[in-house]
Structure 1
Amino acid sequence: MSKRLKFFLGHLSISVIIALIVLYLIFYVWYPVPLHQALGITHLTFMLLAIDVVIGPLFGWLVYKEDKKSLKFDLAIVILLQVSAFAYGFYTIAKGRPAWIVYDSLAFHIVRHSDIETSHLHLAQPKYQQPSWFKPQVVALLDTKDIQKTHPIPKFTIAMDHPMYYTDLTNMKSKIENIAFSLNDLKRFNNPQKVQQVLNQYPMANSWLGLSGVEQDMVVLMNKETAEVIKIADLRPWK
């Protein structure tokens, strides 16, 4: 086996291992299915992996000439460019990961890590001051009257991206019981067979609410008696 082929296979193997780790991190930890669709990061992710797995090793193969005096320098430049492009894309995906799924009395909304307003973060409860590095956490937005009692700040600052206004979802149990929709309503906006297939997987769900996404709206399957989120499903909450 030639040195050129050995280098290419080694470069490719390392790139594939990194790609598999990144795929797991993105689709199973930061953007658990189907949140990657709701936020529209699938295309960016595969561009990132194309740079890592295809373009980087390919450029390494093209510049590799065993007798070239500048071989080490050329390969260093290829690897530096590959790492730089990959790091930028990975950083973008990491910053845009969903940190909070926030219920606001009508529906759920996604708050990305990059959206979090930090100006009054010290006023938030300690558990809301630092988003998880793992899957997004589900919270609720305090009622306006409660906000004004505890945080006398002008109303225009009340928004999903202010953790100072977060509370446990269970505190909104009575409101969820009153507003959550019947599972049968899902069949108005989705294929009835697909709806039934999803519901068969999650028998604890007895109601649903909408999830507003950046690219695609989803459905949050709920148990309204316990205010528990059962599953975010790739179903349409409205037309």
Structure 2
Amino acid sequence: MFSTLFGERQPYQGFNFFGRLKALGVHLIFSLIVFAIFMWVMLVYWFPAPHFQINGGWQGMRIMIAVDLVIGPLLTFFLYNNRKSKKELRFDLGIIIVTQAALIIYGVTTVYNQRPVAQVLSHRGYIATPRTEDLVYKPGIDPIKTISNLNAYKTYPPMLYSAFEDYFNQEANMNDFDKLFDTNQTERLVGDLNPEKIVSRYRPMNSPEALADLPKTAERAMNRIAIEPDMVKLIDAYKAEHGDNFYFFKLFAQYGEAIIITDKKGIPVDYFGIKAID
């Protein structure tokens, strides 16, 4: 294919199907190793369950399948021919390696930038914050470092509390909270200044403020869950099996939602009720 770059064109050497197939197989083995490492990082650090299903992990996996397991090996199959000269083979392999590396970097970067950077307990339940670009913080503040420092329970992604009570009390009595979200004030309150997006309002889950607000926040969350009979059945079944010493919160994410179960200190213990939107 690239022989004209190296002087006189060589005679046609045939498609060499089996030689190309062997090269594809070798490439695929290395691609599978890279993919396995990537999936381990995704499932342990970037998108632990249930975030893989509802917060972009599944979408990210498909990107990596395309760039690592499909496009790369196919490039090898069509470009590689062991009947070419060594100089031509080195050039072709260089093209394959550079292209594959660029595709993998693109895929990993895309998935990394979509990972949830925090799951913040606010007025609706836990809100998964997918990108630092969505956060509101003062100039000079490193939001990722701030979030990491506040991650008292060392969860992935970090579980934080948003001090939202006084925020909404400035606008309306919390008893009228649900009514508030039926008014035109919604646009202002749930836009870029939504409390779970304001880094300065983040608190560790074991802070006195968070622990004091946890019972009423959980009660408010259950009032919202109560309108979903299927979720109520799951919660009742969980309580029947494990007892009633837990809180249940909705986790809202980019591609779905789930129920997060915590103990009375807000430490996560389980999840269920995944509703994914592909």
TM-score (norm 2): 0.66
Match for residue 108 of structure 1? 126
The counterpart of 2:45, out of the listed 4, 29, 32, is 29
Question: How much has 1:186 moved relative to structure 2?
Answer: 9.0
| Residue identity opposite 1:168 in structure 2 | P
Task: Tell me if structure 2 keeps the 8 A contact 1:100–1:137.
Answer: yes
Superposed counterparts of 1:18-167, under 5 Å:
18-69=34-85, 70-114=88-132, 115-120=134-139, 122=141, 127-128=146-147, 135-143=156-164, 145=166, 157=193, 159-167=195-203
Any idea what the Cα deviations from partners look like across 1:14-48, whole Å, max 9, x if unmatched? 11111000111112221001112222331331231
Task: Tell me if structure 2 keeps the 8 A contact 1:121–1:164.
Answer: no
The number of residues matched between the two structures is: 227
Question: How much has 1:142 moved relative to structure 2?
Answer: 1.7
- Please tell me the root mean square deviation across aligned C-alpha atoms, in Å: 3.9
The counterpart of 2:212, out of the listed 169, 174, 196, is 174
Question: How far apart are the structure 1 equivalents of 2:150 and 2:216?
Answer: 29
Question: How far apart are the structure 2 equivalents of 1:76 and 1:125?
Answer: 37
Task: Tell me if structure 2 keeps the 8 A contact 1:121–1:163.
Answer: no
| Residue identity opposite 1:163 in structure 2 | V
Q: 1:58 to 1:130 in 2, by over 3 A?
A: farther
Any idea what the Cα deviations from partners look like across 1:68-127, whole Å, max 9, x if unmatched? 243322222222222212211210111111111111133111112433445445398974
> Which aligned segments of 4 or more residues in structure 1 are displaced greater than 4 angstroms?
2-6, 123-127, 129-134, 155-158, 181-187, 194-205
Question: How far apart are the structure 2 equivalents of 1:123 and 1:3?
Answer: 52
Q: 1:164 to 1:68 in 2, by over 3 A?
A: same
Task: Tell me if structure 1 keeps the 8 A contact 2:130–2:254.
Answer: no
Q: 1:37 to 1:124 in 2, by over 3 A?
A: closer
| Residue identity opposite 2:123 in structure 1 | S
Any idea what the Cα deviations from partners look like across 1:107-159, whole Å, max 9, x if unmatched? 11111243344544539897437798982111111246489xxxxxxx97564
Match for residue 231 of structure 1? 270
Question: How far apart are the structure 2 equivalents of 1:144 and 1:222?
Answer: 21
Question: How far apart are the structure 2 equivalents of 1:50 and 1:134?
Answer: 30
Question: Is 1:188 aligned to residue 229 of structure 2?
Answer: yes
Question: How far apart are the structure 1 equivalents of 2:228 and 2:193?
Answer: 37
TM-score (norm 1): 0.75
Task: Tell me if structure 1 keeps the 8 A contact 2:150–2:204.
Answer: no
Instruction: Please list every run of 5 or more consecutive structure 1 residues that lacks an aligned counterpart in the other structure.
Output: 148-154
Task: Tell me if structure 1 keeps the 8 A contact 2:56–2:114.
Answer: no
Match for residue 259 of structure 2? 219
Task: Tell me if structure 1 keeps the 8 A contact 2:82–2:89.
Answer: yes
Match for residue 208 of structure 1? 248
Question: How far apart are the structure 1 equivalents of 2:155 and 2:22?
Answer: 37
Q: 1:233 to 1:71 in 2, by over 3 A?
A: same
| Residue identity opposite 2:256 in structure 1 | Q
The 3-state SS of whatever aligns with 2:265 is: coil
- Structure 1 window deviating more from structure 2 (29-38 vs 182-191): it is 182-191
Q: 1:20 to 1:178 in 2, by over 3 A?
A: same
Task: Tell me if structure 1 keeps the 8 A contact 2:150–2:160.
Answer: no
| Residue identity opposite 2:254 in structure 1 | V
Q: Rg bigger for which structure?
A: 2
Question: How much has 1:196 moved relative to structure 2?
Answer: 6.9
Task: Tell me if structure 1 keeps the 8 A contact 2:159–2:205.
Answer: yes
